[in-house]
Structure 1
């Protein structure tokens, strides 16, 4: 059913991955200029002015695709086995996305040695946790259905 707990976990995973578009993953300060790496690109902030230095279009598209995959999977509630397989594939894609984000984070001026990791670097881990909790909810539903079948 759509109101099951795994729907909430998948929605939270979707929101967590979507936050990568708005929350910086890595920041660094060079002189009076602050640089931020988001899934959308590399941004330079001087004073109050923020400009995009480089766009990361492939990373942006893949981040949106992974978030949409999580969201669309909410509506597979009638096909629990397929829903679990899609969640596992989504976890693999999130791991790949986080690796890809780290590769783009190396483009920050000064390198990763001087950069500060922000909450954006930990969002994929939180999304994976939400996906695992969704799998646990699906397993609990399957147990409930098996026990109901035994009673018949």
Structure 2
């Protein structure tokens, strides 16, 4: 059923991954500038100004990966009729999210001066939250399968 709890968990995972587009992964303050890394790229803001920021680098592969993983989680909601396939796609999306988180950490090391002294933003913790949501969706799928099996035994 599309109204089941796993649909909510998969939707929350997709929203969490979409939020990574707007929230910084890591920020570093130094020499009158604040440099923040997003999944869209490296953004530099001058301290003391009115917050005028400009992109230093644009990370297109990371952006495409972020959108693709969020889209996979969102489209997996509509596989409700094929629960085993939905579970397999959820497991694949966990692996993809873990790889995406590792890739974000590799890009975070590209901060000027390295990652030492950097403050991790909310975006650094969102992949772990998305993995948690997908795990909860898998538990919901398993619960549905047990319910279907018990209903078939009663027939």
TM range (shorter): over 0.9
> How many residues matched?
152
Q: 2:101 aligns with which of 98, 101, 106?
A: 98
2:32 corresponds to 1:32: yes
TM superposition outliers: structure 1 runs of 4+ over 2 Å: none
Give the equivalent residue in structure 1 for 2:77: 74
2:132 corresponds to 1:129: yes
Measure how far apart 1:119 and its partner are: 1.1
Separation in 2 of the partners of 1:110 and 1:24? 17
Measure how far apart 1:31 and its partner are: 2.0
2:91 corresponds to 1:88: yes
Q: 2:149 aligns with which of 133, 146, 149?
A: 146
Give the equivalent residue in structure 2 for 1:12: 12
TM-score, normalising length: structure 2: 0.96
TM-score, normalising length: structure 1: 0.98
Q: CA RMSD in A?
A: 0.6
Separation in 1 of the partners of 2:19 and 2:32? 27
